[in-house]
Chain A
């Protein structure tokens, strides 16, 4: 009997949190792709994974910052919190890939719960649930994960609503000191996740505070938030080196958005390009804009009828705050805001101005959730189903990442162009000559060099090279592959344009480097025929990149050489 009573009591507790469970359940569409048994081809490539593994080897080094295949910029790059969290997960036995994906998932779940917690006192459970879902399904956030792989920024966007809740929301039984501490802690985490964006989020918090009632009551929490964020920023700068603040970001001013892009349904995996032709989606999203507009109309309608339509008494924030903040943030992504950026020097905090879209979307989610508060008759299950269904449906088609089951190496083989092109893997195969197969005609088969043995004159060696660009490349680059003998004399060579016949979507078609999308895995197959009159083995293979116009070789990153060399004898012995 006692057991039954306990179950009933537990059931009641669960039922009280039914909207929380609903929020968690309905975010499944956004984080389900993370459960794919593999990884994604995203703009950041495998760089976070390389650095995660690198950092895991020195877990107690407080001044560790990412350095593999990247030049770390303290304010603009992914913050350290994502790495710390992932390291914690790896310490529990989870693989590096899964740890990164768990961090992404955590960001989504925390973002949804944070929005719910932030807006529940104001809009009630249904409204807060709707707002949480609008925020979770922002196209910008989906792109940040599945197109850009910007895990620090994603984690930051996930934590900001919690920070807003801790710093600004008044709960009936809130203990003042506890919330001051929570506020400081939350904003410390936010600052650690992506310092530049965290500063902008704090500025938004200031704006929110300025419009809210009971400002004095919230002042200490605001100060704690500021303090936490500042500590995080200072810590990150100290770890990365103070010099990293001054790194130039001239390209910032080439990446403003055009108004059409804010409402465009375009979805792509390409990079951000100067001008209007960005390859990825940078819109605000149909659902947030539509529902926020609807909320605005309802609010005006309420005001016209003399109805207050205000949020519940416990939360006296006006409707102006989210609309104003979202509008300001959106305007800052447009070219007309360039003078402001120049004067304020705040562009140092971000890589691109459109990184504010995530914050703008968050503030648009607030009035979107307020729709159900303004129209209580719509809080019936069927209407909730319509609104929630609309929100999810608007972003559903975006949830198709470019998956890969490629086995990610612990670090790239080499990098060129300041880590803009990474060579991940090299496989050497030999065409099976007819004589070896006892056939009078050429055979289609190949053997790995390690199985074939020593390369001989007359053989055709195939280099299967796996590449990944981490940024958009402006020009086509050529690959040179030189086979040299023991004396260092050139035996034979191949100089194809990098990407010839390597289009992953159309096998056999060319995809040269100027067309490479960051994060996409490109496998090139380069054949080198060893002449019959070539001196015998051992041979060495030298690889490098160069520009055809200038014939200048690209230096290998983190090296003074302009080529990488492999000893084929060692390869054959594997």
Chain B
């Protein structure tokens, strides 16, 4: 029978966490090889996303939204719709001087250790040290996690593994012992998850909400049976009990608004067919039943049909432990923990079902699921479920919660925990491989030219906005870079007539801004920029002060007008009409009202969080004083 987790005793806590991290180090092994695993599915994307992110940060944009070199230099609002947190972590390393590929490997390594720690902490809270240790190992060494790390090199999703246990830990605590600190921490954990991976917003949020609802209703039902209340009372009490969870969810949503609000409101301004159509449509990527249990492991692509060259297995040992959990969960004494485990049993089964072709009717019925892109991505839920439930196997019968006692290592540790740990690692050992190789000329060494070659060779990072009818396959900007030159301007000089009616000279340019001096003989002229239009691009006309002669930038005068922006019909490039005469034209990517609202909401939410954190100790002091006073009176 399980025992309530003992109050945290530092030596045991540190020992368990230390062992979990130590054993997770083997999963980092493949990253220690010199070189980079360029052949992994998203390995190149990860590197070049970081490259682009770094460019924006170095331009002084602390919250990038625009990717200047997507689409062969035409740009794309990548960071407006793609969660950036993992790249912030990477950027720290880049700023410290690490190379891009080394940084990516560092972030992967951190994600492995972070996920081991977070799962250990979560399951330790539920089931004790031994359970936490087993859970952390299953989580790190699960086939899908290793698939994300070494076959896909999916940086964002791998980093998101850190936050999932933290999110569920937070909501568990809010249902078991609601406290203000927990509410704030949960909100931050949820924010961290969403800011790391958009896909997990769709996968985890419904799970969290259902979890809160289930526990709230269970609490209310349990109380009802002892007090004989009505169904209406149950619902009301259920809502009351769910309030802390709902509050955390709302606070977290507020904190994420800086990213989430524009990502949702402005997603239709990019060509969604490039995200969810073609090879990214979910229909061809269901996992066949036999693939869930097959030992096949490979680095090829996921192809239509049952003969994928990659492994989609659930994991032999995790599945064994999952099956055994049905024998042990009923014996868990703590009702909240027991219901949490049952919740994960149901979620895991549902996730497995949604990976298979039998669930296609569900996928078609719920359009939101298309954002997940590939059904096998639900492996992240099965991995989490297997980890949590795997911990229950060990925790269900241990006589004492400590890994070490005064008499030494207890017998149950020697008999069952150590063999189980060893077996988990041996079972995953054949999958700890990364295909390290030298970059092809279309991949590296990392540079802007390599990025353009990569885009051309792979048709990746060629996203366009909704104003483009034609997806580019090359560009004069890319040509320029390949020739060894750098991009100083995005003005389309080939669109300027030769008759001298229009003259343009670029004064300065950054990733989100260009200032040009322009002469127009009449009001019929316009300047075309090799930049894809997206909401946020604004054009301003300034007066030319004409002095000093040798410093164009110093001649920029007052703002005359905000120019109307048009686009070219096929490419969606920005076209700005200019007035007659000599002026300065500035094209700038700015925040839209939605983005500003998102920032404001995030800022306010952050302040609320700080306020709550500050308030909490005061409430504790006040409560203690009240209790002390009551004691004195008695």
Contacts and interface: CB of A to CB of B under 8 A. Distances in A.
Interface of A: 15, 18, 21-22, 25-26, 28-29, 32-38, 377-378, 380-386, 388-390, 392-393, 396-397, 399-400, 403, 405
B133 to A, nearest CB: 12
A26 B327 contact: no
Given A384-B324, A389-B427, A403 B316 contact: no
B420 A400 contact: no
Contacts of B430: 397
A377 B327 contact: no
B327 A385 contact: no
Contacts of B419: 383, 386
A514 B189 CA distance: 64
Interface string B161-180: 00000000000000000000
B142 to A, nearest CB: 14
B397 interface: yes
A381 B288 contact: no
Interface in B367-417: 393-394, 396-397, 412, 415-417
Interface stretch (B290-298, B615-623, B625-633): B290-298
Given A22-B326, A37-B306, A389-B316, 10 more contacts: A33-B290, A380-B416, A381-B397, A382-B394, A382-B397, A382-B417, A388-B324, A389-B321, A403-B306, A403-B307
What DSSP secondary structure best describes chain A's contact surface? helix
Contacts of A34: 290
Contact of A25 (B288, B295, B323, B427): B323
18 contacts: A18-B327, A22-B324, A26-B320, A32-B289, A33-B293, A33-B294, A37-B306, A380-B416, A382-B393, A382-B420, A385-B393, A385-B416, A386-B419, A392-B316, A396-B316, A399-B294, A400-B295, A403-B306
Contacts of A28: 293, 319
B394 A35 contact: no
A385 B321 contact: yes
B607 interface: no
B320 A385 contact: yes
B294 A386 contact: no
B317 A393 contact: yes
- By size class, the interface of chain B is 35 or more
B396 A381 contact: yes
B328 interface: yes
Contacts of A15: 330
Interface string B277-303: 000000000001110111110000000
Contact of B292 (A32, A384, A386): A32
A393 B423 CA distance: 9
> Which of A32, A33, A389 lies at the interface centre, i.e. has the most chain B CB atoms within 10 A of its CB?
A389
A353 B257 CA distance: 72
Interface string B415-429: 111011001001100
Given A384-B324, A389-B320, A400 B416 contact: no
B320 A38 contact: no
A127 to B, nearest CB: 15
Contacts of B307: 403, 405
A33 to B, nearest CB: 5
Contact of B426 (A18, A26, A36, A393): A393
A400 B311 CA distance: 12
A34 B294 CA distance: 11
Nearest to B398: A382
Contacts of A400: 294-296
Contacts of B288: 35-37
B182 to A, nearest CB: 31
Nearest to A18: B327
B348 to A, nearest CB: 13
A393 B316 contact: yes
Contacts of B323: 22, 25-26
Contacts of B289: 32, 35
A315 B290 CA distance: 39
B416 A36 contact: no
A297 to B, nearest CB: 16
B397 A35 contact: no
Interface in B223-256: none
Contact of B393 (A22, A25, A381, A396): A381
A156 B300 CA distance: 39
A396 B295 contact: yes
Contacts of B416: 380, 382-383, 385-386
Given A26-B323, A393-B316, A393-B426, A385 B420 contact: yes
A257 to B, nearest CB: 26
Which 4 A/B pairs are nearest by Cβ-Cβ distance? Answer: A382-B416, A32-B293, A35-B289, A386-B419
Contacts of B306: 36-38, 403, 405
Interface of B: 288-290, 292-296, 306-307, 316-317, 319-321, 323-324, 326-328, 330, 393-394, 396-397, 412, 415-417, 419-420, 423, 426-427, 430
Nearest to B422: A386
A383 B416 CA distance: 5
A268 to B, nearest CB: 16
Contacts of B293: 28-29, 32-33, 399
A378 B430 CA distance: 28
Contacts of B328: 381
A446 B394 CA distance: 63
A538 B380 CA distance: 63
A26 B319 CA distance: 8
A396 B396 CA distance: 27
Contacts of B423: 386, 389-390, 393
Nearest to B293: A32
B295 A397 contact: yes
Contacts of A378: 415
A405 B307 CA distance: 10
> Which of A15, A33, A385 lies at the interface centre, i.e. has the most chain B CB atoms within 10 A of its CB?
A385
Contacts of A403: 306-307
A32 B294 contact: yes
A265 to B, nearest CB: 14
Contacts of A35: 288-290
A378 B416 CA distance: 8
B394 A22 contact: no
A378 B414 CA distance: 12
Nearest to B296: A400
A1 to B, nearest CB: 13
A327 B420 CA distance: 31
Nearest to A37: B306
Contact of B326 (A18, A390, A392): A18
B316 A377 contact: no
Contacts of A405: 306-307
Contacts of B394: 381-382
Nearest to A24: B323
B290 A385 contact: no
Given A385-B420, A386-B419, A22 B397 contact: no
A266 B606 CA distance: 61
Contacts of A392: 316-317, 320
Contacts of A399: 293-295
Nearest to B130: A382
B338 to A, nearest CB: 15
A34 B415 CA distance: 36
A393 to B, nearest CB: 6
A26 B323 CA distance: 8
B290 A32 contact: yes
B415 A22 contact: no
Nearest to B325: A381
A35 to B, nearest CB: 4
A400 B292 CA distance: 12
Contacts of A380: 397, 412, 416
Nearest to B357: A37
Nearest to A21: B326
A291 to B, nearest CB: 14
Contacts of B320: 26, 385, 388-389, 392
> Which of B306, B316, B396, B412 lies at the interface centre, i.e. has the most chain A CB atoms within 10 A of its CB?
B316
